[in-house]
Amino acid sequence: MKTIFEEHEAGRGTEYLPSRKVDLGAYLPAGEIRSELPLPELSEVQAVRHFTGLSRRNYGVDTGFYPLGSCTMKYNPKINEDTARLPGFAQLHPYQPEETVQGALQMMWELQRDLGEITGMDAVSLQPAAGAHGELTGILIVRAYHESRGDTARTQVIVPDSAHGTNPATAAMAGFEVVHVPSDERGGVDVDALRQLASEKTAALMLTNPNTLGLFDERITEIAEVIHAAGGLLYYDGANLNAVLGHSRPGDMGFDIVHLNLHKTFSTPHGGGGPGAGPVGVKAHLRDFLPMPIVTNGDGHFHLSYDLKDSIGQMRSFYGNFGVLVRAYTYIRALGGEGLREVADDAVLNANYILSLIKDHFDVPFDRIPKHEFVVAPPEDLVRQQGVKTLDIAKRLLDFDYHPPTVYFPLIVHEAMMIEPTETETKETLKGFADTLNRIIDEGRENPEYVKTAPHNTVVGRLDEARAVKQPKLLERLGG
Amino acid sequence: MKTPSELRYTEDHEWLRPEGKSGRVGITDFAQDQLGDVVFVELPEVGRAVKQGEAFGVVESVKSVSDVFAPITGKVVAVNQALVDSPELVNQDPYGQGWIVEIEIANDGEVQALLDAQAYGALQEGGH
Amino acid sequence: MRFTPHTEEDRREMLRQIGASSVDELFSDLPAAVRLDRPLNLPEGLPESEVARLLSTLAARDLDMGKYVSFLGGGAYDRYIPSVVGEMLRRSEFYTAYTPYQPEISQGTLQAIFEFQSLIAALTGLDIAQASLYDGATAVAEAAMLAWGQTGRERIVVARSVDPQYRAVLRTYAHGRGLEVVELPLRDGRAAAEDIAGAAEGAACVIVQHPNFFGLLEDVDSLVKATHDKGALYIAVADPISLAVMRPPGAYGADVAVGEAQGLGIAASFGGPYLGFMAARQAYLRRLPGRIVGETADKDGNRGYVLTFQTREQHIRREKATSNICTNQGLMALAATIHTTLLGPDGLRQAASLSIEGAHRLGDGIGRTQGVDLAFSGPYAFEVALRGKASVKDVQGAMLKAGMLGPLDLERFYPELPGHMLLSVTEKRTTEEIAKLLDVLQGVEA
């Protein structure tokens, strides 16, 4: 497809604004006025066809099954899109006086309260813009908490070797040294190793539970005790909360801080990579460290409160990705507590169902009941003898109109494929996907070359990523 | 995997070719194979003093990145400028045109203590 | 409402296949101590018709910019958005997709980001741009981290005339890395090159917004020179709408340009989601945070786009990554790309020109109005800072009564500016609306 720069033809533009001539020279010094502005000009129809064309070269949850592990690609209800666009929400300026935005503030206050109930936390900030941003918020709270106690020797954050890359990156951004704790043979945190690592230097442990293998850490209470006894805090990465909604709450597991991904658990769309939202909840003793403002309720009115005395400050402009918050709030109101628990029930049921259908065709590194997702690898003989790797299977899935699972993560499983079906898929979809995976394994044995050169039916084939780095072309300019 | 017998090796998969007062350094055939297509090599400045075991450069493929550690203590006396435009030399000729830096040898003892080809080969057999 | 499709028969069959007797058995590894033994205490679920009613009722409690005429700005704007933008954003192949990890089925998202990078580079006059950041404030903070990584220096200098939201976020991020933040004081509402000489000794960067938070034009040439004299990076903060008519950061010597692109087709939406951008000179490519898209080809020579230079990022570099950011603001970057494509150079220029003209009509009127004065001297655009005899609260009340929103109380962020306020004019404000505002200002009793 052509780019907008290649579509450009001078003079094609459409008028969207009054064409009244403005003499900028009357307002700005001559030297400040720009003469050139090399932007493309397209007619409205051209632009509409261009972006419609781009959308057709994309794959979303509405296109088909999207079992991308750790990303919770569930269906995004359309009512959410309507409510977020209500003028009373979408057309609010963030600096409007409080008395003119009571509906918005009430929604935020209720969402803070509901997310607190769902996670077992006492106070919630809606400000963080994404999961990674929520993590940074949480770890800065860890830092502020220890600093407030004069406990400045706590320089280490412990993360499991199965953790998302964001965990160590976040810890480093908050000025901590990262220490890795290994996994045990059941896929959980190696508690003995953790005991060795936990010390007066430990600021926090960052944990996902269920973890990135989709396994619930059965020794979570013990883990919490080890960290708390050492004087550290326990941080919950909410990436996998979908698995335990209504069954178990991070607050009850012993966590002090939690971040959520509204774009995973609470059905807000991923938008091709954002916007998301990453609210952070804390136990009561950490409330005053939350970023400001938070929404409070008093004398029948809702307020933006800036009176948290130990606040880490502000994490972004204004109050959060408000439009995303409206969607999550809509979802929670639609489902209610019972509906949310059913989400976890079916997310776990669906993952186990696929696993039961493919376990004879794949290597299963941990023989346990997974929660909402699980990790497998192609059989070792297929990798070794035919050279058919996880990447090849992922690419071959594209030919069958499936989005592939997450691949090569977590790092502790060789040739990992991480499959998360979510709760919104039918039995037929799950079965069809499992059958296709098995078929590709068989195909890999019979005709490995065909699998290794997949995909065969997409608009482009495998792209040369090395060239993209060695001969970078990161943008286009008008006129080439 | 090739493991030339005239070179010395580290456990981190660097090689050293001692020649008089200095030696060239690169990454081993095994290391380049593990990385995949090398697309970028970050070189140190000539004249930089490095300590044994210190990371002085970076070799990157599309989806992975690896620090390069100094096998010995000494001063960097030359860097392989050819890698700026042709990082793939690390894949094509890891022990020859794919060399990364040349380090002035400060301590012969360090050189002697490095792994020989046989010991390094055994390390790979052990599964790394 | 439920979005879980299974019938009881489905569940039975699936459990049989799994070899479990009940769904609860699949949760049997959760220790009793951490199980929730009661239902979540949430309002009961509602059917769609009731959810729609509930949300409409809540939204109706707000006074929105559709009903009220907004003169609020200061980093978020009520700009005209062509119908096409909203229409295209609702194509669910865009908004229900995730980060383009599988380029073969993500060419839509990838090419849109490539086009976005191209547009940002053109607007800022710089060599490269990345795929976007959460918002303008975090973009400023990330730029400061880039400068620290590049120079190894631990002092960040920022002009006090930079958006207070941005400075607040900068302080939070800087504290995490243990960096010191020093502010250049206001000199008639602006930064002064003389102040850089002292403050920027050993600094990684100097951050200046132009036009600044008060809408004032900074003396960027002298500021850039003073910054570079100290070996620091110059980080320009700019609204892309202003860049349609004003000399771009690349032309006056900035090393990095960042800002908030909400004005490019994104609803004000009570503060988010918005769109941060970052452009830079080529030399800083490997220090950029977040995603970057590049062009390449498949083995048959078909052009395609991929995420590239990923070794900077958290999923590979982990604790040594340039930032912990994972995604970009994909859908918002798409909105900005569509909006900019539709308006084109003429439309974008017109949006900026009408806004500047309106701001000056308001500013000139204020000069003629009893009881209010412009707060600062010298050229300005988009925003009008003023001070008056009446309290800001009274002005806000009088405007609200007249069906208008504004002004922003500046003392909230600047204790040194008591009684000062900020009004903003976009291309949507008519001559009549501005005249009416002037009447209201005239009528507020001190």
Residue range C242-271, pLDDT digits in tens: 999 999 999 999 999 999 999 999 999 999
The predicted pLDDT at position C316 comes to: 82
Structure confidence by residue, pLDDT tens digits, A297-332? 998 899 999 999 999 999 999 999 999 999 999 999
Tell me if chain A has a CB within 8 Å of the CB of B23.
no
Pick from A102, A326, A427: which is nearest to C13 by CB?
A: A427
- Region C347-372: mean pLDDT is 96
Give the torsion through C-alpha atoms of A293, A296, A299, A300, to 10 deg: 110
Task: Give the confidence band of B128 by pLDDT, cuts at 50, 70, 90.
Answer: very low
**Interface contact flag, C349 A468, Cβ < 8 Å:** no
Structure tokens at C377: 């001297």
> For residues C324 and C340, what is the distance between their CA atoms, to the nearest angstrom?
29
C269 and C249 Cβ atoms separated by less than 8 Å: no
Contact A271, C106 (CB under 8 A): no
Residue of C nearest to A217 (CA): C30
What is the C-alpha separation between C273 and C336, in angstroms, rounded?
A: 12
| CA angle, A449 then A451 then A457, to 5° | 115
The alpha-carbon gap from B19 to the nearest alpha carbon of chain A, in Å, equals 32
Kindly report the nearest CA distance between residue A170 and chain C, in angstroms. Answer: 5
Residue B126: pLDDT band by 50, 70, 90 thresholds? Answer: low
> Which homologous superfamily does the CATH classification assign to the domain defined by C69-80+344-443?
Aspartate Aminotransferase, domain 1 (3.90.1150.10)
SS3 C220: helix
A430-449: average pLDDT = 98
Domain positions in chain B are 8-120
Chain A residues within an 8 Å CB radius of B88: 470
- Which amino acid makes up residue A215? L
Taking the CA of residue C292 and the nearest CA in chain B, the distance in Å comes to 13
Nearest to C294 among A423, A458, A472 (CB): A472
Confidence of residue C319 (pLDDT cuts 50, 70, 90): confident
Q: How far is C121 from chain A (nearest CA, A)?
A: 8
Predicted confidence at residue C446, as pLDDT, reads: 63
* Cα A74 from Cα A267, distance rounded (Å): 6
Q: What is the enclosing helix (H) or strand (E) of C327?
A: none
* Rg value, chain C, Cα: 25
| Same domain for A188 and A288 | yes
Residue A224 pLDDT: 98
Number of neighbouring beta carbons within 10 Å of residue A192: 10
Whether the Cβ atoms of residue A273 and residue C106 lie closer than 8 Å to each other = no
- Tens of pLDDT, residues A233-260: 999 999 999 999 999 999 999 999 999 9
Which residues have a Cβ under 8 Å from the Cβ of B104 and sit 6 or more positions away? B21, B22, B74, B75, B76, B77
**CB < 8 Å from C in window 407-466 of A:** 409, 423-427, 455, 458-465
Q: Count of residues for chain A?
A: 480
Best C8, C10, C29, C34 residue to mutate vs chain A (most A CBs within 10 Å) = C34
Identify whether residues A304 and A363 lie together within a single domain. no
Position B44 confidence tier, pLDDT thresholds 50, 70, 90:
very high
Can you tell me the mean pLDDT for A6-30? 96
At residue A237's C-alpha, the angle toward residues A232 and A242, to 5°, is: 140
Q: Is B25 helix (H, G, I), strand (E, B) or coil?
A: strand
On whether any CB of chain A is under 8 Å from the CB of C318, the answer is yes
Residues of chain C positioned with their CB less than 8 A from the CB of A336: 42-46
CA B100 to chain CA centroid, Å, is: 6
Q: How far apart are the first and last CA of chain B?
A: 13
Q: What is residue C350's predicted lDDT score, i.e. its pLDDT?
A: 98
Kindly list the residues of chain B whose beta carbon comes within 8 Å of any beta carbon in chain C: 40, 60, 62-65
Distance from CA of A463 to the nearest CA of C (A): 4
Is A122 near chain C, with CB under 8 Å? no
> If DSSP states are collapsed to H, E and C, what string results for chain A?
CCCHHHHCCCCCCCCCCCCCCCCHHHCCCHHHECCCCCCCCCCHHHHHHHHHHHHHCECCCCCCCCCECCCCCCCCCHHHHHHHCCHHHHCCCCCCCHHHCHHHHHHHHHHHHHHHHHHCCCEEECCCCCHHHHHHHHHHHHHHHHHHCCCCCCCEEEEECCCCCHHHHHHHHCCCEEEEECECCCCCECHHHHHHHCCCCEEEEEECCCCCCCCCCCCHHHHHHHHHHCCCEEEEEHHHHHHCCCCECHHHHCCCEEECCHHHHCCCCCCCCCCCCCCEEECHHHHHHCCCCEEEEECCEEEEECCCCCCCCCCCCCCCCHHHHHHHHHHHHHHHHHHHHHHHHHHHHHHHHHHHHHCCCCECCCCCCCCCCEEEECCHHHHHHHCCCHHHHHHHHHHCCCCCCEECCCCCCCCCEEECCCCCCCHHHHHHHHHHHHHHHHHHHHCHHHHHCCCCCCCCCCECHHHHHHCCCCCCCCCC
Take residue C118 and report the two structure tokens written for it: 């191209």
Q: Does A44 touch chain C (CB under 8 A)?
A: yes
**What's the CA gap between C298 and C303, in Å, rounded?**
7
pLDDT at position C76: 98
Phi and psi of C256, rounded to 5°?
Answer: -140, 140
Q: Are residues A315 and A444 in the same domain?
A: no
Nearest to A364 by CA among A351, A353, A373, A355: A355
Residue with tokens 């010395």: B8
Element (DSSP H or E) covering residue C368 = helix C330-368
What φ, ψ does residue C10 adopt, rounded to 5°? Answer: -55, -50
Across the interface, do A426 and C10 touch by the CB < 8 Å criterion?
yes
Report chain C residues whose CB lies below 8 A from the CB of A355: 18
Task: Report chain B residues whose CB lies below 8 A from the CB of A169.
Answer: none
Phi and psi, residue B42, nearest 5°: -90, 120
Q: Which position has the token pair 């909400």? A: C262
Q: Report the topology of domain C84-337.
A: Aspartate Aminotransferase; domain 2 (3.40.640)
Q: Under an 8 A CB cutoff, do A132 and C325 touch?
A: yes
B75: Cβ contacts below 8 Å, ≥ 6 apart: B47, B48, B49, B50, B103, B104, B106
Sequential DSSP letters for B32-83:
HHHH-SEEEEEPPPTT-EE-TT-EEEEEEESS-EEEEE-SS-EEEEEE-THH
**C184 and C169 Cβ atoms separated by less than 8 Å:** no
Question: Length of chain C, please?
Answer: 446
Q: How many other CB atoms sit within 10 Å of the CB of residue A228?
A: 15
Gap between the Cα atoms of C124 and A45, Å rounded: 27
Please indicate, yes or no, if residue A70 is contained in any of the structural domains.
no
Total structural domains within chain A: 3
Could you read off the pLDDT of A52-61 as tens digits, one per residue? Answer: 999 999 999 9
Is A471 among the domain residues?
Answer: no
Please indicate, yes or no, if residue A264 is contained in any of the structural domains: yes
> Which residues of chain B neighbour A468 with C-beta distances below 8 Å?
62
Interval C269-301: pLDDT, tens: 999 999 999 999 999 999 999 999 999 999 999
Q: Please check the confidence at residue A279 and state whether its pLDDT lies above 80.
A: yes
pLDDT of residue B125: 72
Binding partners of A (≥3 Cβ pairs within 8 A):
B, C
- Residue to mutate among A460, A467, A473, with most C CBs inside 10 A, is A460
Mark whether A302 and A218 lie in a shared domain.
yes
| Nearest-neighbour CA in chain A from C296: distance (Å) | 5
Taking CA atoms, what residue in B is nearest to A465? B62
Domains of chain C, by residue range, sit at: 69-80+344-443, 84-337
CB A52 within 8 A of CB A23: no
B8-120: CATH number? 2.40.50.100
Chains with 3+ CB–CB pairs under 8 A to C are A, B
- As a whole number, the mean pLDDT across chain A is 97
pLDDT at C105 over 70: yes
- Tell if the CB–CB gap between A470 and B39 is shorter than 8 Å: yes
**Contact in structure between C352 and C245 (CB atoms under 8 Å):** yes
Q: What pLDDT, on the 0 to 100 scale, is given for residue A480?
A: 67
Domain that holds residue A443: 344-466
Contact, C144 vs C256, CB < 8 A? no
Does residue A232 register a pLDDT over 70?
yes
> Is B62's CB within 8 Å of A469's CB?
yes
Tokens of A81: 């899109």
List the 290-319 stretch of C: residues with Cβ below 8 A of B.
310-311, 316-317
Kindly list the residues from chain B whose CB atom is less than 8 angstroms away from the CB atom of residue A466: 37, 39, 61-62
Distance set, CA C125 to CA C113, C254, C257, C280 (Å): 18, 10, 9, 9
Residue A231: inside a domain, yes or no?
Answer: yes
Chain A 321-350, residues with CB within 8 Å of chain C CB atoms: 321-324, 326, 329-330, 332-343, 345-346, 348-350
Per DSSP, C313 falls in state S
Q: How close is the nearest chain A Cα to the Cα of C371, in Å?
A: 23
Q: H or E element: which one contains C256? A: strand C256-260
CATH code, domain with A181: 3.40.640.10
Residues A387 and A319 in one domain: no
**N- to C-terminal Cα separation, chain A:** 16
Q: How does strand B55-61 pair with strand B65-69?
A: antiparallel
A331 and A354 together in one domain: no
Chain B interface test: which of A391, A467, A469, A471 (most B C-beta within 10 Å) = A469
ipTM of the assembly? Answer: 0.98
Determine the distance in angstroms separating the CA of B82 from the nearest CA of chain A, rounded to an integer: 14
Average pLDDT over residues A377-395: 97
Same domain, A172 and A265: yes
Please tell me whether residue C102 adopts helix, strand or coil conformation.
Answer: coil
Q: In angstroms, what CA-CA distances link C310 with A160, A468, C109? A: 23, 11, 17
Residue A472 lies in a domain: no
pLDDT more than 90, % of chain A: 98
DSSP state string for C377-435: -S-B-SEEEEEESS-HHHHHHHHHHTTEE--EEGGGT-TTSTTEEEEE--TT--HHHHH
Q: Is residue C40 predicted with pLDDT exceeding 70?
A: yes
A179 and A307 in one domain? yes
Q: What is the pLDDT of residue C320?
A: 83
- DSSP designation for C350: H
Q: Is-contact C71 C404, C-beta < 8 A? A: yes
Identify the band that residue C205 occupies on the pLDDT scale cut at 50, 70 and 90: very high
Nearest Cα neighbor of A101 from C62, B107, B92 is: C62
**Which secondary structure element, helix H or strand E, spans residue C296, and what is its range?**
strand C293-297
Tell me which residue has tokens 């297929």. A382
**What residue of A is the nearest CA neighbor of C244?**
A37
C-alpha closest to that of B16 among B48, B62, B53: B53
Nearest residue in A to C395, CA atom: A97
pTM of the model: 0.96
Mean pLDDT value across chain C: 97
Beta pairing, strands C420-424 & C383-388:
antiparallel
What's the start-to-end Cα distance of chain C, in Å?
54
Whether residue A131 is found in the same domain as residue A277: yes
Task: Say yes or no: A50 and A122 in one domain.
Answer: no
Chain A closest CA to B2's CA: distance in Å?
20
